[in-house]
Amino acid sequence: MDGISCDRCSKSLLIDEEVRYQVKVVVQAAYDPMEISTTDLEKTSPDSWKSLLKKLENLSAEEAQDQVYREINFDLCPPCQKIYLTKPIPDTDVFGSSNSSGSGMST
């Protein structure tokens, strides 16, 4: 169980930290049949589906898989976990989200 380090700051997690956080990011295409409404289908022209399929044909199996489903796992030390939660996606600010239940931080 040695050799585990924070994927953000590279700090060794088992030696210096009692607590570590595992982050599991799942990126999946949102055209799950359960989520497609009639409105979505009306907005989506057959041509856009054709072009999507055409794009997939030109990809390797691995690239096509990445476009549909990708799972990323990493470990974070507590300080990096806090930082990560404020900015799960680079160049965005989760506190700008309208449904944020944050601490009401203001600038």
| Closer by beta carbon to Zn ion, 5 or else 67 | 5
Distance of closest approach, residue 3 Cβ to Zn ion, in angstroms: 15
C-beta separation of 76 from 82 below 8 A: no
The conformational region for residue 74 under phi > 0 = left, psi -120 to 50 = alpha, else beta, is: beta
Contacts with Zn ion by CB under 5 A lie at: 6, 8-9, 11, 77, 80
Which DSSP string corresponds to 47-77? HHHHHHHHHHHTS-HHHHHHHHEEEEEEEE-
Distance of closest approach, residue 86 Cβ to Zn ion, in angstroms: 14
| Closer by beta carbon to Zn ion, 8 or else 74 | 8
Q: How many residues does the chain have?
A: 107
Name residue 92's amino acid.
T
| Closer by beta carbon to Zn ion, 11 or else 67 | 11
Distance of closest approach, residue 77 Cβ to Zn ion, in angstroms: 4
Distance of closest approach, residue 5 Cβ to Zn ion, in angstroms: 8
| Closer by beta carbon to Zn ion, 9 or else 68 | 9
Q: What is the largest CA-CA distance in the chain?
A: 56
